[in-house]
A and B are shown apart, each in its own frame.
Chain A
Amino acid sequence: ILNVEQSPQSLHVQEGDSTNFTCSFPSSNFYALHWYRWETAKSPEALFVMTLNGDEKKKGRISATLNTKEGYSYLYIKGSQPEDSATYLCASDRGSTLGRLYFGRGTQLTVWP
């Protein structure tokens, strides 16, 4: 994988459903993996920064896992709520210029009440 790829591109779920998205990234020169939550007309909000293979992080109903050897990360949302509706971006940091992020195109989540 040369670029950061996210799937699915969009997702529509009912309130209360659990959902997950995938981020694939180049496994070579890995430094860190970032997840952001981005609501329209607002600043992207940092959710997680993950650096170690096997890392798992949790923030409320949202959790993420990281596999640096195969180059993927999963983001899970348990019991989705309408306020979870947003675009979820992942970005890899390869450490060449520290903090230079390579972004995917995002997964747009819509949660219907």
Chain B
Amino acid sequence: ETGVTQSPTHLIKTRGQQVTLRCSSQSGHNTVSWYQQALGQGPQFIFQYYREEENGRGNFPPRFSGLQFPNYSSELNVNALELDDSALYLCASSRAGVYEQYFGPGTRLTVT
């Protein structure tokens, strides 16, 4: 395993609600990236956090937001959930300047 953990494993929410997903990065890693994988698609980059600051964002609306904490763990928050937000959410941790990224197992979000 990669040493990257995510919680919860599965989550069911109703349209319009808010959700928080969590990611604990591998020891020594200071960068966390979040990805969304919709059914039948490859993972899509949401944003990246480095030293508690957002360091790049993909084509996702502002209702997708994040945080990174001093211990480099991270949260992904999604407000006003829509049905299309149903997906697998992956986080990946890495050290700045190093190519390798290590992924967690993902959180499966279902919006009904």
Contact = CB atoms under 8 A, between A and B. Distances in A.
A113 to B, nearest CB: 26
Please report whether the interface of chain B is mostly helix, strand, loop or mixed according to DSSP. loop
Residue among A43, A91, A99 facing the most chain B CB atoms (10 A cut-off) = A99
Given A36-B103, A44-B103, A99 B94 contact: yes
Interface stretch (B40-48, B60-68, B70-78): B40-48
Interface size for chain A: under 10, 10 to 19, 20 to 34, or 35 or more residues?
20 to 34
Contacts of B56: 96-97, 100
Contacts of A45: 2
Nearest to B102: A46
A101 B45 contact: yes
B104 A99 contact: no
Interface string A34-68: 10100001111110010100000000000000000
B76 to A, nearest CB: 16
Contacts of B104: 43
20 contacts: A41-B105, A43-B104, A43-B105, A43-B106, A44-B90, A44-B103, A46-B2, A46-B101, A89-B42, A97-B48, A97-B55, A99-B48, A100-B33, A100-B45, A101-B35, A101-B43, A101-B45, A102-B45, A103-B35, A103-B43
Interface of A: 4, 32, 34, 36, 41-46, 49, 51, 89, 91, 93, 96-106
Residue among A43, A89, A93 facing the most chain B CB atoms (10 A cut-off) = A43
Closest 10 CB pairs of A and B: A97-B56, A103-B42, A49-B99, A44-B103, A105-B42, A43-B105, A103-B43, A43-B2, A43-B103, A100-B45
Given A43-B2, A43-B4, A45-B2, A100 B96 contact: no
Contacts of B103: 36, 43-44
Contacts of A42: 1, 105
B86 interface: no
Contacts of B94: 99
